[in-house]
Amino acid sequence: MLYPVCLSIDDQNHHRIVAPDFDNLAVLDTDRPRALTRMQLRIEGAISELLMHDVALPAPSHIDELRERPELMGCEVLQIDIHPLQLQAVARHQAGR
């Protein structure tokens, strides 16, 4: 499953990444690869929490729709590959089911 993220760079050369399909999910880092890795881990954590509580996963937004959202104008839209079946197995194990 490919979840889009929006990457922008601030005046201090920090890479800011937001995941618009998840509330309040953002990463700020000076290193782009590390920021992307951290965002992947945060998305996986958010999905694991949803799975542990039997909450439906949000459908990934379409990239074209994100590019048109005013608050995301000027950001670079990327996709992060997430494997929900693996996360579901881990969530079940952690929940003792």
pLDDT for 97 equals: 60
Whether the pTM exceeds 0.75: the reply is yes
Query: Tell me: the pLDDT tens digits for 33-90?
Result: 999 999 999 999 999 889 888 899 999 999 888 888 888 888 999 999 998 888 888 7
pLDDT for 96 equals: 73
| The CATH number fitting domain 2-95, selected from 3.30.160.250, 3.40.50.720, 2.40.30.10, 1.10.287.3510 | 3.30.160.250
pLDDT for 92 equals: 75
Q: Residue 14: which of 30, 1, 26 has the closest Cα?
A: 30
CA dihedral 62, 63, 67, 68 (to 10 degrees): -20
Identify which has the larger pLDDT, 19 or 93: 19
Span 9-26, average pLDDT: 93
